[in-house]
């Protein structure tokens, strides 16, 4: 009975709030188009995770269990201290909170969060991978991330995960006679050993390596964004009147979808369009020149683990994103993928190399629209005053995970 009374009271309050909000002189009425746009940003609008035809075990529970174990296993590294979870910490929204991620060395970019990543056709800030499983393989061989090599990982799977591997992929091949360390890695000794292996043995080890990535991807596909206060508000009877969101936060939302032009890049229920944009982000001091998508577009085509590659489970007609991908051009220079804004308020610093320390600095950057270090920025100066910047910031804070009602 108490629950029914509370629900009835909430509906009554929501109805009164809606009536009052419609009459507030300083607040413009919501148009149907505005309401539709706001609803398109809510989590209820997120479609199911799309299939990945390049990964035949993408949605297999046993593969996801195998991948989860690998994700947290520091033995998948050159020093036994680095796991996927090192840079993608579940307690930090599957990122690490650092300007530049650190594994066996220092990287040149910030770790992106993983929730909802399976919805993106291209991965990394520059889109140099076209699937979650291909993305997982890059760090495993990177000298500054996991720093390991392919036969090392194959031998580890044989010793520690044979049953899990066979449950997902079938019989494990014989690795007898293969070196402990070999692969097309930065280590000269591992590279020399790899070159000395037969083509058939290299193919066998690379297939095991690809399957490790596919298992990790099966786990990562289960990492979904969680509801926020914004989502609960949009789904409530009070929407579009203030309620669970106050007037300051609603004013920030109006700016977000309108005058501030945030939805040019941060749209859809993941609050990213998963495309690539040059927004004049300053170069990080001391780092090599970063070409962004201009380099990523080339790298994804050359990747032996892409959708059209030998180790993909897809037919060529399943690889439309890669086959019809726009070529690198002047507009892709220093263009980067905008990360989701879900949870962004508690995920500083910002931009691809942590160049901006706070969200307030980010909003000021977009309002000022400085010239890009290279290429052409898509931004233009915005007439956004200090109060309006604070309202946008207030709205962004509503995108933090919202604890469920446990009463």
Write the CATH number for 192. Answer: 1.10.760.10
Report pLDDT for 405.
55
Q: Are residues 216 and 230 in the same domain?
A: no
Dump pLDDT digits (tens) for 270-291.
999 999 999 999 999 999 999 9
The C-alpha atoms of residue 302 and residue 321 are separated, in whole angstroms, by: 15
Q: Domain range spanning residue 244?
A: 12-49+226-288+330-399
Tokens 């390049």, located at residue: 54
Contact, 307 vs 321, CB < 8 A?
yes
Instruction: Flag whether 298 is in a domain.
Output: no
Q: Are residues 142 and 251 in the same domain?
A: no
Report pLDDT for 185.
82
The C-alpha atoms of residue 217 and residue 120 are separated, in whole angstroms, by: 13
The C-alpha atoms of residue 258 and residue 279 are separated, in whole angstroms, by: 18
Instruction: Flag whether 365 is in a domain.
Output: yes
Contact, 375 vs 334, CB < 8 A?
yes
Dump pLDDT digits (tens) for 356-379.
999 999 999 999 999 999 999 999
Dump pLDDT digits (tens) for 189-219.
999 999 999 999 999 999 999 999 999 999 9
Q: Are residues 144 and 234 in the same domain?
A: no
- Residue 298 is classified by DSSP as H
């Amino acid at each position: 009975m108490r629950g029914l009374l509370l629900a009835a009271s909430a509906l009554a309050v929501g109805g009164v709030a809606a009536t009052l909000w419609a009459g507030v002189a300083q607040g413009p009425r919501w148009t149907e188009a505005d309401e539709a746009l706001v609803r398109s940003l809510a989590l209820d609008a997120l479609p199911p995770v799309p299939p990945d035809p390049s990964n035949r075990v993408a949605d297999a529970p046993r593969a996801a269990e195998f991948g989860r174990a690998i994700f947290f296993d520091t033995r998948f590294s050159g020093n036994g201290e680095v796991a996927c979870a090192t840079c993608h910490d579940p307690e930090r929204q599957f990122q690490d909170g650092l300007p530049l991620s650190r594994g066996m060395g220092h990287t040149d970019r910030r770790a992106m969060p993983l929730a909802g990543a399976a919805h993106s056709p291209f991965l990394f800030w520059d889109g140099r991978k076209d699937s979650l499983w291909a993305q997982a393989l890059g760090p495993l061989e990177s000298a500054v991330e996991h720093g390991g090599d392919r036969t090392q990982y194959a031998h580890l799977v044989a010793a520690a995960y044979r049953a899990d591997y066979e449950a997902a992929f079938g019989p494990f091949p014989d690795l007898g006679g293969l070196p402990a360390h070999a692969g097309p890695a930065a280590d000269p000794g591992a590279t020399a050993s790899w070159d000395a292996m037969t083509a058939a043995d290299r193919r066998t080890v690379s297939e095991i390596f690809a399957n490790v990535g596919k298992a990790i991807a099966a786990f990562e596909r289960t990492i979904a964004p969680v509801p926020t206060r914004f989502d609960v508000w949009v789904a409530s009877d009070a929407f579009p009147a203030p309620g669970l969101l106050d007037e300051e936060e609603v004013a920030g939302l109006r700016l977000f979808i309108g005058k501030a032009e945030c939805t040019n890049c941060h749209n859809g229920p993941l609050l990213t369009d998963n495309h690539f944009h040059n927004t004049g982000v300053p170069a990080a001091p001391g780092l090599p020149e970063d070409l962004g998508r201009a380099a990523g577009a080339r790298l994804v085509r050359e990747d032996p683990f892409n959708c059209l590659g030998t180790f993909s489970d897809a037919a060529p007609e399943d690889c439309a994103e890669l086959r019809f991908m726009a070529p690198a051009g002047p507009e892709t220079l220093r263009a980067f993928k905008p990360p989701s804004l879900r949870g962004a308020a508690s995920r500083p610093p910002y931009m691809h190399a942590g160049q901006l320390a706070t969200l307030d600095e980010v909003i000021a950057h977009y309002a000022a629209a400085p010239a890009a270090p290279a290429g052409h920025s898509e931004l233009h100066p915005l007439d956004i005053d200090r109060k309006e910047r604070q309202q946008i910031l207030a709205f962004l804070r509503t995108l933090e995970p919202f604890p469920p009602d446990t009463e």
